[in-house]
Amino acid sequence: YWHNFDNPAVELRLRDVPAEYDLVAVAFAEATATPGALTFGIDPGLAAALGGYTDADFTADVRTLHSRGKRVILSVGGEAGRVTVNDPASATAFADTAAALIARYGFDGIDIDLENGLNPTYMAQALRALRAKVGAGLIIAMAPQTIDMQSPAGGYFKLALDIKDILTVVNTQFYNSGAMLGCDQNAAYAQGTVNFIVALACIQLEAGLRPDQVGLGLPAGPGAAGGGIVAPSVVNAALDCLARGTNCGSFRPPRTYPGIRGAMTWSVNWDVSNGNGFARTVAPHLDTLP
């Protein structure tokens, strides 16, 4: 995630995202007065902090990242996000405005990071309509909280399974969470551990998502989250456990998932603030996985 706002992390132009990142999610598109509709523009606070940064500069930076083989998607929501898609009209508004923003800025897809709940029926309708407008190359990502992916009956998990045929990746936020049950359903694992990451990812892997649709979302270091911060080496251990069955903690999944997609971090800005340790540790390790 790249911050389109000004906070204590380092402010960055999009073109200055470190090369290790393959997929950059721009945080965030915002709601308008029309239910379901999205808007986006460079935040004035960020522009001021960078000494001037315009929509045109940003659009040029999207093209620059494309020239480097990277992809840029627009994230919808965030902790304070209020985008709601609860009926056919708002689903249409979402698809229409998202398609317009993708066309205007050159985004490669959309990320659903609605931390205040969603309606799986109408969000699925909106995403299918958006894909029909943009084409089969549309990237569709999600970043649910851990509580949202405890059961396939939950709204977020149901959405993921309902659009499994067009879904790119679910990067669950394995942080800012209380203890949660894993796929063994017999222990509550504490965040900030290999066991927590692996046991919770295992729920998704055993309940219908393909390994290539599952990513591990972790904070980039101090300042990035209120809890669940781990050393990047712990992310690598969790990836090893899931992909190879090595470097596990006391919890071991019932099988290995060599196709596990990768890792997400909140955020690029916090990673740069903390010396790029996440990118420099996790990215090269991903290249060693099956």
Q: What is the C-alpha radius of gyration for the chain, rounded to an integer number of angstroms? A: 18
Neighbours of 42 (CB within 10 A): 19
Taking alpha carbons only, the member of 28, 38, 155 closest to residue 94 is: 38
Euclidean distance between CA atoms 140 and 128, whole angstroms: 10
CB 111 within 8 A of CB 169: no
255 C-beta neighbours (distance < 10 Å), count? 11
Determine contact, residues 190/178, Cβ cutoff 8 Å: no
> What residues act catalytically?
115
What is residue 78's DSSP assignment? Answer: E
Query: In the chain, which ranges are E strands?
Result: 2-3, 23-31, 38-39, 71-78, 109-114, 139-142, 169-173, 180-181, 188-189, 214-219, 262-266
